[in-house]
Amino acid sequence: MTIRRTWIWLTYLVFALLLIAPLVKIVLGAWENGIQGLIDGLTRPEALHALMMTGIIVVVVTIINTGFGIMLALYLVRAQWIGPRMKRLLNSIVDLPFAVSPVIGGLMIVLLLGPQTVIGALFEDAGLKIVYALPGMILATLFVTFPIMVREVMPVLQEIGAQQEEAASTLGAYSWYTFWKVTWPSIRWGVIYGVVLTVARSLGEFGAVLVVSGNIMNKTQTATTLVYQDVENFNVVAANGIALVLAAFSVGLLLLMEWAKKRKEVH
Amino acid sequence: MHIEVRNLNKSFGDFHAVKDVSFDIEKGKLIGLLGPSGGGKTSILRMLAGLETPTSGDIVFHGQRVNDLPPQERGIGFVFQNYALFKHMSVYDNIAFGLKVKKQTKEQIRERVMYLVELTGLKGFEHRYPHQLSGGQRQRVAFARALAPEPQLLLLDEPFAAIDAKIRTELRTWLKEMIERLGITSIFVTHDQDEAIEVADEIMIISKGRLEQKGSPWDIYKNPETPFVASFIGESSIVENLSELRGFEDASNVAGTKALIRPEYIEIGRAGEIKLASASMPAVVKHLHFRGSEWMVELAVGDTKLITYRSLEKEVLHPGEEVNVLVHRAYLFNDQTSWVLENPLKVDPMPIHI
Amino acid sequence: MNAMFRGRGWSFGFRTAIILYFICLIVLPIFGIYTQSFSLGWMPFWESVSDPLAWKAVLLTVKLAVIATLINMALGTMIGWVLIRYRFPGRSFLNSLVDLPFALPTAVGGLLILLLLGPNSLVGSLASSVGIEIVFHEPAIVIAMLFVTFPFVIRAIQPLLEELDKSEEEASYTLGASKAKTFFSVILPTMLPGILSGAMLAFSRGLAEFGAVVLVAGNIPGKTLVASVYIFGEIESNNPQGAAAVSVMLLTLSFLILWLVNVLQARRTGA
B341 three-state secondary structure = strand
In a domain, C7, yes or no: no
Please report the ipTM that was assigned to this predicted complex. 0.85
Q: H or E element: which one contains A240?
A: helix A236-266
A218 three-state secondary structure = coil
In a domain, C165, yes or no: yes
The residue with greater pLDDT, C17 or A267, is: C17
Q: H or E element: which one contains B77?
A: strand B76-79
In a domain, C27, yes or no: no
Domain count, chain C: 1
Domains and CATH numbers, chain B: 3-232 (3.40.50.300), 237-347 (2.40.50.100)
Pairing of β B153-157 and β B185-190 = parallel
The C-alpha angle with vertex C120 and arms to C116 and C122, in degrees rounded to 5, equals 60
pLDDT digits (tens, 9 = 90+) for A149-165: 998 999 899 888 889 99
Does the CA dihedral B190-B195-B197-B200 come out positive or negative? Answer: negative
pLDDT at C134: 80
Which residues numbered 159-178 in A keep a CB inside 8 Å of some CB on C?
162, 165-166, 169, 174-175, 178
In a domain, C6, yes or no: no
A166/B72 Cβ within 8 A: no
DSSP-H helix ranges across A114-218: 118-125, 134-160, 163-170, 175-178, 184-204, 207-213
Residues in C closer than 8 angstroms to B50, CB to CB, are 3
Q: H or E element: which one contains B288?
A: strand B281-290
In a domain, C115, yes or no: yes
Is B51 touching C (CB cutoff 8 A)?
yes
Residues in B closer than 8 angstroms to A181, CB to CB, are 86, 97
CA A166/CA B157 separation, integer angstroms:
13
> How many DSSP H helices and E strands does chain B contain?
9, 19
Is B80 touching A (CB cutoff 8 A)?
yes
The values of phi and psi at residue C136, to 5°, are 65, 15
Residue A258 CB partners (closer than 8 Å, separation 6+): C96
The C-alpha angle with vertex C183 and arms to C181 and C184, in degrees rounded to 5, equals 65
**CATH number of the domain bearing residue C48:** 1.10.3720.10
Q: Nearest Cβ partner of B76 from A170, A185, A267?
A: A170
Residue C226 CB partners (closer than 8 Å, separation 6+): C57, C60, C61, C64, C141, C209, C213, C217
DSSP conformational letter for B351: -
CB atoms inside a 10 Å sphere around CB B120 = 22
Residue C180 CB partners (closer than 8 Å, separation 6+): none
Query: What one-letter code names the amino acid at C74?
Result: A
pLDDT by position in tens, chain C (length 271): 444 444 455 678 888 888 888 888 888 888 888 887 777 778 778 887 788 888 888 999 999 999 999 999 999 999 998 998 888 888 888 988 898 888 889 989 888 888 888 877 778 788 888 878 888 888 899 999 999 999 999 998 988 888 887 788 888 888 888 888 888 888 888 888 889 889 988 998 898 899 889 888 877 887 888 989 999 998 888 888 888 888 888 888 888 888 887 787 777 665 4
Mutation to test the A interface, candidates C2, C4, C10, most A Cβ within 10 Å: C4
Residues in C closer than 8 angstroms to A200, CB to CB, are 102-103
Domain residues for the domain of C188 are 42-269
Mutual angle of helices A118-125 and A102-113, in 10-degree steps = 70
- pTM for the whole structure: 0.82
Is A247:C104 a contact under the CB 8 Å cutoff? yes
Mutation to test the A interface, candidates B48, B86, B87, B156, most A Cβ within 10 Å: B86
pLDDT digits (tens, 9 = 90+) for B148-192: 999 999 999 998 887 887 788 888 888 888 888 888 999 999 998
In a domain, C109, yes or no: yes
In a domain, C202, yes or no: yes
Nearest residue to C193 via CA among C156, C244, C242: C156
